[in-house]
Amino acid sequence: MKRVAMVMMVFGLSILAAGQPAQAVQRPIEYALPGDQVFPEGIAFQRGTSYFYVSSTTDGTIFRGSTREDTAEIFLPGGADGRTTAVGLKVDDRGRLFVAGGATGMIFIYNTATGGLIRSFNIGKSPTFLNDVAIGADGAAYVTDSVNPLIYKVAQNGAGGWTLETFIDFTGTALVYQAGFNVNGIAAVNNGQYLVVVQSNTGKLFRIDIATKVVSEINLGGETVANGDGILLKGRTLYVARNRQELIVKIALSNDLSSGTVISSTTDERFKYPTTIAIGAGRMLVVNSQFDKRAPGTTPELPFSVSSVPVP
């Protein structure tokens, strides 16, 4: 009797175990960036892979991390190809990494499979601050300038080469440049009709019609997102990283992107002057720049990092 009971108990436990789903893979919630003076800024997730890329404003190093590993590695050494600083990043669907070069006025395009430089441009303007990058539905890269009222466009031509042009000059539009950092983060709507940008110093959002180049302020009902840095558009939900406030703001946009409603503001004790955001492996990746620790007499907390948090 005892033997039968024991067999039945083991059999029952086996069935119970077989009926349970496999345990989910545990991924890191913090990714370390090697180096004691990194001061990272941009991040880009490469769709179809586990890889993300992070830029160093200090020396232009580009790190590559995996959502499966807790430490990123150097992918492109700082200083290579004249890349002495790096800010905004984006990877297109062909695995090409676009890098905005801040005050250097440089734009770089790299092959993520080989690390090879495909093309670089110098806009030939000073002062400048090339800040962020968005990839349009047409495959072109749109690059913001936080100092000059311009957005640049980098695109392939029919011969397989690359061209650089001024996409829009905001002079005379609804978006008026003022003292300080102006247009910063940029995102492209997946239907190819609009770009969305944030003006950091005013906290305003703007919609740009790609075909007509008409610029309209997005009505937030009196709300602003001052110190808005990197932005991320997922459908009609916009996320804005407010660096000094250490917040990720979630905004529901109307179908035509003419208005929006602030839904929530999320923070985390791990946030340290967050600049840019990306979504990878179903989580939001947040760059902790620690720009507020660059001043004399301040010390950054090591290691520099990217935090993984639930998507708000």
- H or E segment and range at residue 17: helix 2-19
The string of DSSP letters for 57-91 reads TTT--EEEEETTSSB-EEEE-TTGGG------EEE
Q: Are 120 and 106 contacting, i.e. CB atoms less than 8 angstroms apart?
A: yes
What percent of the chain is predicted at pLDDT more than 90? 89
Residue 131: pLDDT band with limits 50, 70, 90: very high
pLDDT at 51: 99
| Higher per-residue pLDDT: 280 or 4 | 280
Q: Domains in the chain, please, with CATH?
A: 30-310 (2.130.10.10)
The Cα–Cα gap between 116 and 300 comes to 32
| Higher per-residue pLDDT: 14 or 181 | 181
Q: Are 42 and 49 contacting, i.e. CB atoms less than 8 angstroms apart?
A: no
**Residue among 228, 197, 225, 223 at smallest CA distance from 210:** 197
Q: Encode 79-95: b = buried (16+ Cβ within 10 Å), e = exposed.
A: ebeebbbbbbbbbbeeb
Residue 25: pLDDT band with limits 50, 70, 90: low
pLDDT at 206: 99
247-279 per-position pLDDT tens digit: 999 999 999 999 999 999 999 999 999 999 999
41-97 per-position pLDDT tens digit: 999 999 999 999 999 999 999 999 999 999 999 999 999 999 999 999 999 999 999
**Residue among 26, 126, 5, 67 at smallest CA distance from 284:** 67
pLDDT at 6: 36
3-state secondary structure of 13: helix
pLDDT at 8: 36
pLDDT at 9: 38
Mean pLDDT for all residues in the chain: 93
Contacts of 12 (CB under 8 A, 6+ apart): none
151-167 per-position pLDDT tens digit: 999 999 988 899 999 99
The Cα–Cα gap between 220 and 237 comes to 13
